[in-house]
Chains A and B, each alone.
Chain A
Amino acid sequence: MLRIPCPHCGERDYTEFRYGGDASKPRPAHDERDVRAWHDHVFVFANPRGPHREYWQHVQGCRQWLILERDTATNTVGAARLARDGAGA
């Protein structure tokens, strides 16, 4: 079971969280109308092996969205910080 270090609540089981996808690429601006930009954001992923940044929300805790470092090869968890403190990319 992954244990996620929530900056607010401390280290918790991943079952308290929901996964929110890739946090390593920027979301297009809200008023971006280019279909290609949104297509790439929503559908195209790098799927890296190794260190990766992901969104996780502590739904059963502080409700905060985090950006978590996770190694996809070893499934080891690194640091977590609040998503609101900086854009994902």
Chain B
Amino acid sequence: MSRGPQRLAHGGRIDRDRPIRCDFEGRPLEGFAGDTLASAMLASGIAIVGRSFKYHRPRGLFAAGVEEPNALVTVGEGGRTTPNLPATTLELRAGLRARRQNGWPSVTIDLGAMNGWLAPLLSAGFYYKTFMGPRRGSWMTYEPFIRRAAGLGRAVHERDPDRYHARHAFTDVLVIGAGPAGLAAALAAAAAGAEVLLVEQDPALGGALLAAPVTGPLEHWRAQLEAAVRATPTIEVLTRTTAIGVYDGRTVALLERHDHAAPDPERGAARETVVTLRARAIVHATGAFERPLLFADNDRPGVMLASAARTYLNRYAVAPGRRALVATCTDAGWLTALDLAAAGTAVTIVEQRDEVAPPLADAARGAGIEMHTGATVARALGARAVAGALVEPLAGGRGRRIDCDLLCVSGGWSPALHLTSHTGRKPRYHPELDAFLPGDWAAGDFGAGALVGAYSPPAAYASGLAAGRAAAAFSGHARAGRTPPAPADVDEPTTFATALAPPRHGRGRTFVDLQNDVTLKDVALAHAEGYGAVEHLKRYTTLGMGTDQGKTSNVNAIAMLASLDRRGIGETGTTTFRPPYTPVSVGALAARNLGRHFRPIRRSPLERWHLANGATMIEAGPWLRPWFYAWAGADVGSAYLEEMRLVRGGVGICDVSSLGKIDVQGPDAAEFLNRVYVNGFAKLAVGRARYGVMLNDDASVLDDGTTARFSERRYFMTTTTAQAGEVMSWLEFLLQTAWPELRVHVVSVTDAWAGMSVAGPRAREALERALPGVDVSNEALPHMGVREVALDGIPLRVLRLSFSGELAYELYVPANHGIALWEHLLDRGAPLGIKPYGLEALASLRIEKGHVAGLELDHRNTLDDLGLGKLAAHDKSYVGRALRARPALQAEDRWSLVGLECLDAGARLRGGSILFAAGDAIAGHGRGYVTSVTFSTVLGRTIALGLYQGGLRHRGEEIVCAFPLKDETVRARIVSPVFVDPEGTRLHV
């Protein structure tokens, strides 16, 4: 079976016993296991793989790996649609559905190709000029046209049904890249005793060796190395895995791809996995990309990197052309020419150098290859595909046409130094190699192979052994061990040194960046217009900003810029490389952090009861809390009012388990609390609780809460739900850094105790019924009194505190007894009509009482802003005291707490409304804003808390609450923030 007209009868690393048929644009495309989509397309004679970004010029396969700029396809259907994947990196598999992009009506017949006539509009800096320049308005004219015409594949809005995972891993030595250098490094590091992780983006091990003939000595050696690696238990090999980013502390992000295994999301299998790897040492063996030679119309289908042509020929057994012209300035080009000739292709070599090593020239002569030295290609000929090349002597003189349908280009090598640059280390230019190499190395990072200029397989292998040993030693493993020998009979040339001639400036466009359609003329124009710095050039022309990130264009553009400036390539420098090395799907980055797994959810120990008894839950920070209960109404708008009436008129019970709870113990606990709270705590009696406020060092309010004293040295602190973590950390900071002499321990017990508030005029009756052995009379347990008792042997804390302004008690039991106590209270209180109330009613009751909460405690307000100034003690020091005295914090026009009563009783007032004085223009930031709103069942009208410039000095004034987003205004009067029972008589019954 041939599987395509261009398929060779023999050879390749494909499995001819496993034919594969995939779907390409609705038609079957055939190939073999081991093919990529690109090699199957080439074997089938599909020459045009896509249309270019701006000009819609037909494009063909240019590379054979991740650097491919042209052959971007869209894969999958519906929610699985993934655009812009290089066909060169897609393994051929049954079930693969792919299509070409950016052509209309099709890629082969594209009406958008007329963009070429409009090229002057699309030149360098087009976006800048239309947005910023005198032609600014022209963007409006061109935008719809440009948006339709320019572009890559399209993303979809449907939900992706596939699963993506994330995992963490550790290793002594990470080796990135499994070419000869990486294989050597892995073997050497393992021989020294290190645990090794070897990652390779390709499905196979061997790197550049995979492009060598499968019958040659290099393949024999490669197979030996692979066998040695596979036989070493301390080397873990991850193929189809890309190191996408290197971060501080030698943390590396790896992307594992599992598409080849047809993962089933229904069974939990992931399509991709992001691995966060921490390595003690890293060997970078990422190899190098071949650079193209530049000439006019160098984007014609059929123009291909020489190394790619060799890969298609030797790895995939596909003849990339029938009549090849190899334009080169490197020995690598000659290897391609020799292999093409051996496969029966007619080959001509156009070599920029005047002479090459005699063995190469002899071999070429022996293979019947036509040779032109001291010459280069000035222009590709042909319209929809390469039909020939105009070849000119470099010394001058007439050019001549040479026919070909494959034009291989080899202009030197650019090490893949992306990863070594991610942590901010600048590459350095090495003129003797015509290449940027990694600059200085961080401790623990090592390089090997083509990345550090060791291009030939033996040199790469030797450098890999050295790097592997050094990395193992750095990770603490320096055992003497044996590694396989370097190959003895390798016929690869030992150097790839180049002498890059400047590009010819002929007629037609010379593309530097094929993917983003950036030409030499664009580079020159950007330079002439003042965007000559390499980072400016990139942004002005979009050069290197495509999905390929300029892997084949970067160095040529820098060389062009350097020649325009008449300075060295090294001085011109490179742009900054940032993660990811190759594109990563958003799904992989999100992994399992989706939906309810987006962040951890904190749950009350009573949640099971709430869910079984009609509660509608709501997120409150990380917590899920009961919002309202079905007994009170079908929707929150009516239910919370009913629940408020219950608490104001009878008795209700509310889950307050989410409050922060901190156990404070020690001989100096009283002194400690006295320092952190603004009010006095030194004299708090055992059996009593006190409301307290804490400040930050800058005198803004950190939190409020209640602390109870259960014994001489033992306190129980509660914090707001929102600030629980912050307060805990702050107390630890003070104890450990500022006051280590204080003998105090603090422990978070938030999760250890279930908390519930029993509130309402009949709360005491409810407790008397539920806790018959406990004296809860006003005399035994007055307001702010606390008791520790036991109920059936279970510890129970009863604190007489009120958030709602009604007679109320907070009860705390060990969390796993929470539901039992809750049900007991409901059961015994049933004759009193006790029912649960939710967060909406809780928050509304506190607004009526004027208690500040999270919406008012935003770390910007002072004690005085919140009307709590009189709480502060004058006879002691407390955190934040000194900076409270700052003059600006004393200003009379600070925004401070007020109550707001809507003049129209049923007005709808929104939180966040902006406050204006009557007569103010409704514009700008106003004089304050609404923090909390509710309907007051007591007053029968909408009320709010807010911050207003000058605060209660304006009591009685009518103001305007504006909500510009909805174009709403509501009139309100400034009143005391305590709407209900301002004297507090209800608390002391």
A interface vs B, CB < 8 Å? 1-3, 13-14, 18, 20, 23, 27-28, 30-35, 37-39, 41-43, 55, 57, 59, 63-65, 74-77, 82-84, 87-88
Contact = CB atoms under 8 A, between A and B. Distances in A.
B591 to A, nearest CB: 15
A10 to B, nearest CB: 12
A28 B739 CA distance: 11
A35 B879 CA distance: 13
Interface of B: 247-249, 251, 276, 278, 423, 442-443, 675, 697-698, 725, 729, 732-733, 735-740, 877, 879, 881-883, 885-886
Contacts of B883: 35, 38-39, 42
B733 A64 contact: no
Nearest to B876: A31
Nearest to A55: B737
Contact of A2 (B249, B675, B881): B249
B733 A34 contact: no
A38 B882 CA distance: 7
B732 A63 contact: yes
Nearest to B746: A63
A65 B736 contact: yes
A74 B881 CA distance: 38
Nearest to B741: A84
12 contacts: A1-B276, A27-B738, A31-B877, A35-B882, A37-B882, A39-B883, A39-B886, A55-B737, A59-B725, A65-B736, A75-B248, A83-B736
A23 to B, nearest CB: 8
Contacts of B739: 30
Contacts of A28: 882
A20 B733 contact: yes
A2 B736 contact: no
A55 B733 contact: yes
Secondary structure of the A side of the interface?
Answer: mixed
A1 B248 contact: yes
A84 B737 contact: yes
In the A-B complex, the 3 residue pairs with the closest CB atoms = A1-B251, A3-B249, A38-B882
Contact of A65 (B249, B276, B733): B733
Contacts of B442: 74
Nearest to B882: A38
Contacts of A82: 736
B736 A34 contact: no
Given A41-B697, A42-B697, A42-B883, A30 B675 contact: yes
Contacts of B882: 28, 32-35, 37-38
A59 B879 CA distance: 22
B877 A83 contact: no
Contacts of B278: 1, 3, 13
A30 B627 CA distance: 42
A64 B247 CA distance: 26
Nearest to A59: B729
A84 B736 contact: yes
Contacts of A18: 729
Contacts of A43: 698
A28 B881 CA distance: 12
Nearest to B878: A30
A53 B737 CA distance: 13
A39 B879 CA distance: 13
Contacts of B885: 35
A31 B249 CA distance: 41
Contacts of B423: 75
Contacts of B735: 84
Contacts of A27: 737-738
A87 B741 CA distance: 11
Nearest to A82: B736
B248 A30 contact: no
Contacts of B877: 30-31, 33
A50 to B, nearest CB: 15
Nearest to B887: A35
Q: Which of A23, A38, A41, A88 has the most CB of B within 10 A?
A: A38
Contacts of B879: 30
Contacts of B247: 1
A54 to B, nearest CB: 12
Contacts of A83: 736-737
Nearest to B733: A65
B738 A30 contact: yes
A63 B732 CA distance: 8
A3 B697 contact: no
Nearest to B737: A83
A55 to B, nearest CB: 7
Nearest to A85: B740
A57 B737 CA distance: 11
A75 B247 CA distance: 10
Contact of A38 (B697, B725, B733, B737): B697
A75 B442 CA distance: 11
Contacts of A3: 249, 251, 278
A68 B106 CA distance: 60
Contacts of A31: 877
A60 to B, nearest CB: 11
A41 B883 CA distance: 11
A82 B740 CA distance: 11
Contacts of A35: 882-883, 885-886
Contacts of A2: 248-249
Given A1-B278, A30-B877, A34-B882, A65 B732 contact: yes
Nearest to B250: A3
A84 B740 contact: yes
B816 to A, nearest CB: 24
B886 A57 contact: no
Nearest to A31: B877
Contacts of B249: 1-3, 14, 77
